[in-house]
Structure 1
Amino acid sequence: MWRKPLAAATNMALRHPWHNTAFRRSTNLSTAINSMLLESLKDHYLEVSKMSPPAKVSPPKPFTVLKGSLDGNGPVLKRSYGNGEEIKVSVMRLASIVPSGGAEDNGDDGINQLFVHVDVSKPGQLENVHFLCGLYPDALGIHSVSMRSKAENSGFLLVPNQYAGPVFQDLDEGIRDALHSYIEERGINESLFPFLQAWLYVRDHRNLMRWFKSVGTFINENNSAKDRIVVSTSS
């Protein structure tokens, strides 16, 4: 049953050879673009791979690095405090929150300012106290303090769905000072900056390398599939 439409398609191709010519031109252009893109990705991958990493920095004791943190978006550091408290620290750059060129863009401040999320949990408690802080080489400031529920089985913190607390700057100065003392007593201060800055560099470098490789692999596989189509068409 399939011989008739196949024969019709063959006759059409013979009567209108420009169909094949246009197809080959389109395929050749696509192959050339893919090759150019792959070459550019390869060059940048090699360039990035030659970048020297920062000097190795250890986190201040008693903080330890969470295993696998470089490959995820979760906490980076953890420590125990007092009678069973657990403190976890996550970090991101200012540029991850305020895009380059935005109204809040302050040049080099994006390099020297980090945002850290600090979660303090206690055994048997269903909620953690969560601090969002700005971390600098010589200072730390609290942006907000909220309570967050903890998923019972997954261990991941849920986005708060209830009152998140007052604006930190609107709090009484005595409360603000006491909250600063609370996290400083648990080791959350500017001493974390050198390690977290170096850690972010390593993570960003690793992610960039992975990105170049992943995009290149996708383009290359797509290109190979097109090559197989051309071969089957011309045979």
Structure 2
Amino acid sequence: MWKRALVGAAAATLRRSCVSTVRSSSTISSAVDSMLLRSLKDHYLEVSKMNLPPKVGPPSPFTIVKGALDSNGPVLKRSYNDEEVSVYVTRLASDEDEDGAIHQLFVHVDVSKPGQKESLNFLCGLYEDAVGIHSVSIRPKLQDNAYLIIPSQYTGPVFEELDENMRDAFHSYIEERGVNESLFKFLQAWLYVKEHRNLLRWFKTTGLFIDGKKPATSA
């Protein structure tokens, strides 16, 4: 009898302890969530007040691809005779000075022809006063506004090991299609805007997740 009573009392004490622990953990979790939500909101507001660079248009005859800011697809396109030239842009995360200025861009230039299943792709380093080719490869032809496809087969020799005349000819090839340093200022400003938008979206969607809310969907 006493044994049953002691066991019952111990079980009751354990239940109360568990409830207290759950309540304490729940309180701590709620406080952490609130603190994080306030921090996300403060940073969102801070970033939203940042001044963006002046609007810069792309050099003619390139046009901006619709929806490019919200995708990883091409940024610019143009026609050259019967070809379609698409330009993708990215950068190294560490490539900026103390003021956050971007000095080097990486651009993929995709040249496609009608009726062909593959396209010619150039990876280039783009600077304010120069453009240099890092590699040239044949890749599967991209669909409209598609992401770049990583080739699964041989992509060609190391560009710097090619004959100098061939390297010069490839440089002339992309320059003839409008890929030169004149693209730098537009692509630099475009990246600032994209990164600003992505950062705002990250603060917002992370806050909505922590708060248990679903992001609004477009109609």
Shift, 1:126, TM fit? 1.2
1:112 lines up with 2:111 in the alignment: no
Q: In structure 2, give the amino acid aligned to 1:85.
A: E
Structure 1 counterpart of 2:54: 55
Which residue of the partner structure matches residue 85 of structure 2?
87
Q: Which amino acid aligns with 1:33?
A: V
Deviations 1:170-193 (A, max 9, x none): 001000000000000100000000
Tell me the alpha carbon deviations over residues 7-51 of structure 1, each in whole angstroms, 9 at most, x when there is no partner: xxxx95576422221111111101100000000000000000000
105, 108, 123: which one aligns with 2:114: 123
SS of equivalent residue, structure 2 residue 212: helix
Residues 1:114 and 1:156: Cα distance change in structure 2 (over 3 Å): closer
Shift of 1:210: 0.3
Shift of 1:106: 8.1
Structure 1: distance between partners of 2:182 and 2:106: 14
Unaligned runs of 5+ in 2: 1-9, 214-219
2:137 corresponds in structure 1 to 146
- The secondary structure found in structure 2 opposite 1:162 is coil
TM-score normalized by structure 1?
0.80
Give the distance between the partners of 2:123 and 2:186, measured in 1 at CA: 18
- What stretches of structure 1 of length at least 5 have no aligned partner? 1-10, 223-235
How far 1:53 moved relative to its partner?
A: 1.0
Paired with 1:77 and 1:218, the residues of 2 have a C-alpha distance of 34
Name 2:196's counterpart in structure 1. Answer: 205
Separation (CA, whole Å) in 2 of partners of 1:15 and 1:77? 66
* Counterpart code for 1:118: V
Counterpart residue number, 1:37: 36
Q: Compute the RMSD of aligned alpha carbons.
A: 2.3
8 Å CA contact 1:149–1:157 kept in 2: the answer is no
**In 2, Cα distance between the equivalents of 1:116 and 1:86?**
16
The aligned counterpart of 1:180 is 171
* Number of aligned residue pairs: 203
The SS at the match of 2:211 is helix
Identity in percent = 63
